[in-house]
Each structure stands twice: as structure tokens, then as C-alpha cells.
Structure 1
Amino acid sequence: METRRRSLAKAILWNMIGLLCMSLIGLAMTGSAAIGGAMAVVNTVLGFCLYVIYERLWARIDWGRVDV
């Protein structure tokens, strides 16, 4: 089982990557760094929260695990 600390570290790193990508997409689509950045921040915060919950739920599910 993963620790909460590991799940949190993975979520932070993944969301930093997502923030960068979403900022660039928002900038490209709106032409505004402020609007694109705001869209990226909202997306990142929501995605971060959902990802942590998702990972913690899967950490409790034994299906597909193999003990070695």
C-alpha cells in the first residue's frame, strides 16, 4: 500500500505538469496570460483534490495486486 506522503508527492508533481500544460493551452486559446493562467490554476486545484481522493481510494482496493 502507498503511504499518504507518497500519494501527495505524486499528486503535486503531476499537477505541476498539468498546470504548465494548461497554462500554455489557455494562453494559446485565449491570447491572454491572465485568463489562461486563471483557468490553469482552477483546473490544477480541482484536479489535485480529485487525484488525491482517487489515489487513496485505489490504495484501499486489493483487486489486481499480487503479493510477492
Structure 2
Amino acid sequence: MIADQLVLNSKNTKTSFEKDKNSEKPLRSIAKAVSWRVIGTVDTLIISYFFVEEVVLAASIASIDFVTKMILYFFHERIWNKIGWGK
């Protein structure tokens, strides 16, 4: 009986470890969001400047874009992290 519990507990621990190993920590999602948004913001800044031809206005557009899309990307990553498909 005790041996069975040890075996079951070790199996549950292994399953729990494997589940955690396939999962990303929130800090990694934040780092990915920031790095991706830097790339995306430079793109937005260039495109905005091309259309409005004003650096200040283009920078304002890029700044708003940076904040809103970084927040959306973080939650998008966290949701996808919960989906087991393709892992």
C-alpha cells in the first residue's frame, strides 16, 4: 500500500514536472513581448512617418502602438501557453 502511494506520487510529480517544463513563465512572455514590440514599433514609426511626414506625430503613434500591442501580446502568449496543441 505504501509502495503504491510512492509510485503514484512519483508519477504525479513527473507529470507535473513535464507539464511545467513545457510551459513558459510569465517573465519570458514579458521579455518576448518587449523585444517583439521594439521591432514592431520601429516598423510603425517608419510607416507612420512615411504617411504623416512629421516625426513627433509618427513617434506619438508608435508610442501608443508600443504600449497597447505589448499588453495584447502578453495576454495572447499566456492564452496560447495554456493550449497543448502543437507542443
TM-score (norm 1): 0.90
**Count of matched residue pairs:** 65
Please, what TM-score do these two structures have when normalized by structure 2?
Answer: 0.71
Structure 1: 5+ residue stretches without partners: none
What aligned pairs does 1:16-27 form with structure 2 within 5 A after superposition? 16-27=38-49
Alignment of structure 1 residues 5-16 onto 2, 5 Å: 5-16=27-38
Is 1:36 the counterpart of 2:36 in the alignment?
Answer: no
Q: CA RMSD in A?
A: 0.8
| AA in 1 matched with 2:32 | K
Using the alignment, how far apart are the partners of 2:49 and 2:55 within structure 1?
A: 5
Query: What does residue 48 of structure 1 align with?
Result: 70
Identity %: 31
Read off the aligned partner of 2:33 and give its amino acid letter: A
- Please state how far the C-alpha of 1:63 moved relative to its aligned partner: 1.9
In the alignment, structure 2 segments of 5+ residues that lack a partner are 1-22
Runs of 4+ in structure 1 over 4 Å off: none
Q: Whole-Å Cα distance in 2 between the matches of residues 14 and 60 of structure 1?
A: 21
